[in-house]
């Protein structure tokens, strides 16, 4: 049975201990790495390139707007990619969704990542837009996987909207740690990996068995989520 390993991680623009961050990612051995808060300001391209080389993955979607990036292992075939700005709200950050349709072991999956806003109204609207954008590239043998920093917990309206049509892997097949924020004192589960009903997640959570507590605390202000999905 082939297994797709998806890692979702808010890396806070690589402002923390990048060596620790690299150790965390490499220990998780992801087939696909979905980043939120990838560098988007000073020397953002070169900083992203160095990080990609260090973790042994290739950039698949690498856009500045929204601070998102998707990287993949060499044996993952990329079918197509997309990047969409979400509706702008005056005075708030520009938000986006990045999508990569990939093929592994003969199965096609549309992987998306997003970083929703702290403002509840914008967050809910953007969640609906993400669902719409992801639905446009799924079906006909392509199943969705959505990763991201949701910026609210599972009882919030945006989270509930996302979970209404997909499986909340951290709640359904928990493995490892549950809480993702903050990295040093994890009290909240505000990061998520959702899968479409046609996929079978077999485990998801903070990969405590793979990485050291010290590296988790040094790497960034969020903890990563690793999901294994049977193909």
pLDDT digits over 207-223, tens only?
999 999 999 999 999 99
Q: What was the pLDDT predicted at 172?
A: 98
SS3 of residue 73 by DSSP = coil
The answer on pLDDT for 95 being more than 90 is yes
Ordered by start, the domain boundaries in the chain are 3-230
As a whole number, mean pLDDT of residues 153-162 equals 98
| C-alpha to C-alpha distance for 34 and 51, rounded to whole angstroms | 13
171-210 tens-digit pLDDT: 999 999 999 999 999 999 999 999 999 999 999 999 999 9
In this prediction, residue 17 carries a pLDDT of: 98
With 90 as the cut, is the pLDDT of residue 82 above it?
yes
- pLDDT value of residue 1: 79
Which tokens sit at 215?
């590296």
Q: Prior bond to 130 cis, omega within 30?
A: no
Q: Report the pLDDT averaged over residues 28-37.
A: 98
Distance between CA atoms of 136 and 144, rounded to whole angstroms?
A: 10
CATH topology (fold) of 3-230: Deoxyribonuclease I; Chain A (3.60.10)
Which helix (H) or strand (E) is 113 found in, with range? Answer: strand 107-115
Which residue intervals of the chain are DSSP H helices?
18-28, 44-55, 120-135, 157-165, 169-172, 213-219
pLDDT at 200: 97
- What whole-number distance in Å separates Cα of residue 5 and Cα of residue 202? 10
* Measured distance CA(138)–CA(119) in Å, rounded: 28
What percent of the chain shows pLDDT beyond 70? 100
Cα distance between residue 147 and residue 225, in whole Å? 9
Residue 175: per-residue pLDDT = 98
């Amino acid at each position: 049975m082939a297994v797709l390993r998806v890692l979702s991680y808010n890396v806070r623009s690589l402002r923390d201990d990048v060596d620790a961050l690299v150790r965390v990612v490499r220990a998780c051995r992801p087939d696909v790495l979905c980043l939120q808060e990838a560098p988007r300001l000073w020397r953002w391209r070169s900083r992203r390139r160095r990080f990609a080389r260090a973790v042994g993955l290739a950039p698949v979607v690498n856009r500045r707007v929204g601070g998102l990036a998707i990287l993949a292992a060499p044996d993952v075939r990329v079918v197509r990619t997309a990047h969409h700005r979400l509706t702008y709200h005056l005075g708030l950050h520009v938000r986006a969704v990045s999508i990569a349709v990939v093929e592994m072991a003969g199965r096609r999956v549309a992987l998306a990542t997003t970083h929703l806003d702290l403002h509840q109204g914008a967050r809910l609207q953007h969640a609906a837009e993400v669902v719409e954008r992801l639905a446009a590239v799924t079906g006909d043998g392509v199943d969705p996987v959505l990763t991201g920093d949701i910026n609210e917990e599972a009882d919030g309206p945006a989270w509930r909207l996302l979970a209404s049509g997909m499986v909340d892997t951290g709640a359904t097949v928990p493995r490892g740690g549950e809480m993702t924020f903050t990295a040093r004192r994890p009290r909240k589960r505000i990061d998520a990996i959702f899968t479409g009903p046609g996929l079978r997640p077999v485990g998801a959570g903070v990969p405590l068995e793979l990485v050291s507590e010290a590296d988790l605390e040094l790497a960034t202000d969020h903890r990563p989520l690793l999901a294994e999905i049977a193909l």
